[in-house]
Amino acid sequence: MQQQPPGGVRFTNEIGLEYSKQTLISTTDFVWQIFQQGSEEDRKNVSLVSLFIDTMVGVAYADNDEIHWGGNDQSPTPGGLIEGIADFVRLKARYVPSHWVQPGQGDQLDKGSDVTARFLDYCESLRSGFVAELNKKMRSSYSDNYFVELLDKTVDQIWSEYKAKYHAHYFIMGMNTGSIVLTGFLL
């Protein structure tokens, strides 16, 4: 009998096949729920799924556009939006790293997947199921007009309203507490 490498022994003793299967099933079910993919025809046909065990806490992360919840390799969907959707899934799973921006922070929509995830969460608050619908639209193409189709406003209009909402929130918080520190959030 061939001896297992240290990683294989550790996998068997500390993680196990059953836990790994259950993790994949739970994660898949969660993602299908987020993207409202209740039936087989709603889902992307994926023949192979790889499970990577890492010390990072979380259900999804994007690295070099490795996670493609929406679109595909031929899709013109901006990479920042793809990564933002992956981080939106993390946000919904409550796996938010401490270094992420707070809602309303960030100078531009595409300047960090955490900024994009927070913006998508705001869009989701305007229309339940927004991210799932956007994801469906992005399967084969991308257009900024998808935001107009789904929310009746351009991306720039929604971004301005998003920033204004949190600008007022942080301003009021600063005034109520008498603190000027929070004015650092004002843009």
Predicted local confidence at residue 61, as pLDDT = 42
- Residue 105: pLDDT above 70? yes
Check residue 167 and give its pLDDT.
76
Domain coverage including residue 22: 6-143
| Residue 182 is assigned to a structural domain of this protein | no
Residue 83 lies in a domain: yes
Q: How many structural domains comprise the chain?
A: 1
- Whole-model pTM over 0.85: no
Examine residue 102 and state whether it is found in any structural domain, yes or no: yes
For residues 154 and 60, the model is more confident at: 154
Report yes or no on 160 lying in a domain.
no
pLDDT at 172 over 60: no
Residues 104/105/109/112 CA torsion (nearest 10 deg):
-140
Choose among 91, 96, 103: nearest CA to 166.
103
Is residue 89 within 8 A of residue 31, CB to CB? The reply is yes
pLDDT for res 147: 95
pLDDT-derived band at 48 (thresholds 50, 70, 90) equals confident
Q: What distance in Å separates the CA atoms of residue 139 and residue 74, rounded to the nearest whole number?
A: 10
Query: Within a domain: residue 35?
Result: yes
pLDDT of residue 153 exceeding 90: yes
Does any domain span residue 153? no
Query: Is 159 within the bounds of a domain?
Result: no
| Per-residue model confidence (pLDDT) at position 27 | 79
Q: Amino acid letter at 61?
A: Y
Evaluate if residue 135 carries a pLDDT over 80: yes
Asked if residue 96 is part of any domain, the answer here is yes
Say whether pLDDT at 177 is over 50. Answer: no
Digit-coded pLDDT (tens) for 10-43? 777 777 788 778 877 877 888 888 888 888 888 8
pLDDT (0 to 100) of residue 149:
97
pLDDT over 80 (residue 170) = no
